Each structure stands twice: as C-alpha cells, then as structure tokens.
Amino acid sequence: MKRGTEQRAALTMPPEWAPHERTLVAWPARRETWRDTSIEAAREVHAEVVAAIAAFEPVLLVADPADADDARRRVPARDVEVVALPIDDSWLRDNGPIVVAGRDAGGAPIRRGVDFRFNAWGEAFTPYDRDAAVAARLLELLEIPRVAVDMVLEGGSIAVDGVGRLITTEQCLLNPNRNPDMSREQIEARVREALGVGQVVWLGDGLVEDADTDGHVDNICAFLGEGRALLQTVPGSDDPNHAAACDNAARLRAAGIDVVEFDLLPRTTRADGTPIAIPYTNFYLCNGAAIVPLAQLDPDMDEEALRRLGELLPGRQVVGVPGRVLALGGGGVHCITQQVPAAPL
C-alpha cells in the first residue's frame, strides 16, 4: 500500500494537449436523455464525432451489449475499437477514468487510472450503477492500474494545465448533492492528492443554462496552454450569465492566469421552452486537432467561432461537428470524450 501511495504522489494529470494514446467515448444508451431529440439522432452525431477524432487518434468506443452491433455498423472500422460493457448513459468525461502519468523512483514511466465515485450529477438521473462501475472495467481493459478515490467528482467539473493548476466551480464541486460530508478544504486536499496538482482555482457559478451538471467548468472554461485559459463571457450586461462571467474572470486573473474572453454563446430551447446553451468552449483537444461543437443555428457565428479558435490553437486542425443534439441531451463534445494520455517517453 505504501508503494502505491508513493507512486501516486509522483503522478499528475496531463493537460488535454499532451499526447494521447486514445480517446474514450460511450455510445448513447439512455433514451430519456435524448427526449428533446431522439436516440437515433444522438447516435448519428456520436458516430460523426468518433469519425472526426479517429482521423487523428484511435478511439475506444464503449457500447452497451445490446447496442454494440449497432455501434460497429455506424463507426469507421479503422482506428475505432468497439467494446461491449454495461452502461446507463453516454457521458464518459464524467464517469470514465482520469489517467495520471509520471515516473517512478527509478525513472520508469508509469500511469494510473483515478476512479472517483460517480453519482450521476447528484443523483439527477437513475439508474447509474453501471456507469459508476465502468471506469474500473475500462482500466482493466487498458491494463492501467486503478486508484479508487472516495469522493464524487466528474471529469467535466475540472480543467488542468499540466503544471500544477486546476480549475473548478464552487457551484458543482461544493454542491451538497456531491460530497455533503466533506468541507471545501477536504475536497481540495483530496483533489490535489489524487490528480497531482498544487493550485486549485475556484470559480463561482457555471452557465445558468447548465442545470443538469450544476455548472460544469468545461462549459465555461478551457486551458489553452500553461497558465492561459479561455473563458466564456457574454456580450451584454443584461445577459443572465454576465455577473458570473465577470466574477470568474476576476478569480482567474487573481490566480495569475492569463484570461482570453470568448463572447460567442449560441442558445436554443428544449421542447418545453427551457433555454439551453451550446458553448463552443466545450471543445475537445485530440492529437493535432480541436473538435468543436457547432450550434448550427447561425452559420456566421459558427464560422467566427472556428476562426477564433483556430487562431487561439495554432498548429491544430479545427474541426466542427454537430453540437445542437448533444446540447439537447445535456452536454457537448468535451462531455462525451475522455482522453487516455500516452505514457511519458
């Protein structure tokens, strides 16, 4: 046990732009998730996202056994491996393993898979027992040793820059529906230890429209590089997200982070009239590319978002994929993906 603790202390969560071994994605399984569109539409979009990523790196696609053959028919045969595992839903960013990497005392490269507890965003959706178990099953398949952490945390609630900084939101990580018996200090200490970070930067609230996840950070903020972050802002002071965006910008700057403000935020509505956002900031970085969710509501805005992100992410191909269906289901491209960083060279 002591040896495992020593190894874990030497490891850290690499930034998303570090080289990947592969990307993990799950095939849509819960029909109720897609009540404002359809599971068929969701699967079409997932297939398109998987194909976009597979052009740059291998993809491991997890499908419920009942749906595995359907997934195999729809995705590229090359660089996509479909594995049948019992799942409830399809947001592997949140319930998948978080792989940390580093070197042991002898200098040999090592990786560990951090497996936080998962309770379906504060038990907002049930059942979730199969999703809570999938990280351990994936780590066994990947042959990466597992480190279980007794704390609820979703991958979409954090962002790291690889040199010791981690960003999260108070709205999510301090929400009593996640870890009601832990204090802020205890949560921060657990995150530092599990992910090998030195500085936890607490933002306040996420998007008003992000009720399903209680304000995940990957809908408002993404690191562009070491100490440099893209932050979702809004163009007008009458926007319901204006106050939170200003507060978050101030918190990031106070933490010594260079802030790039991004004021494009398309919105649509659910069938019942509930507004939802389709943030471009929910992009995913794979090897050599940025996969960006497009709202497909205003072509000029989509084009402008791709142009800006292309300038902010030099050396990467910026690839737009459909984002509206994912947003109607409760997330975006980043929410359905989880990177497996390559072992250090």
| Catalytic residue ranges | 335
**From the centroid of its chain, how far is CA 336?**
7
Task: Provide the 10 A C-beta neighbour count for residue 272.
Answer: 7
Bridge partners of 95? Answer: none
Torsion, Cα of 74, 76, 79, 84 (10° steps): 20
CA 261 – CA 258 distance, rounded (Å): 10
Distances, alpha carbon 60 to alpha carbons 72, 84, 141, 193, 318, in Å: 11, 11, 10, 28, 22
Tokens describing residue 166:
């981690």
CA 52 – CA 318 distance, rounded (Å): 10
- Among the residues of 2-159, which ranges form H helices? 2-9, 39-54, 68-74, 92-95, 120-123, 129-142
CA 76 – CA 61 distance, rounded (Å): 11
Q: Is 173 helix (H, G, I), strand (E, B) or coil?
A: helix
Determine the residue type at 338: Q
> Can you spell out the DSSP letters for 13-44?
PPPTTS-EEEEEEE----GGGGTTS-HHHHHH
Burial label for 145, CB within 10 Å (0-12, 13-18, 19+), is middle
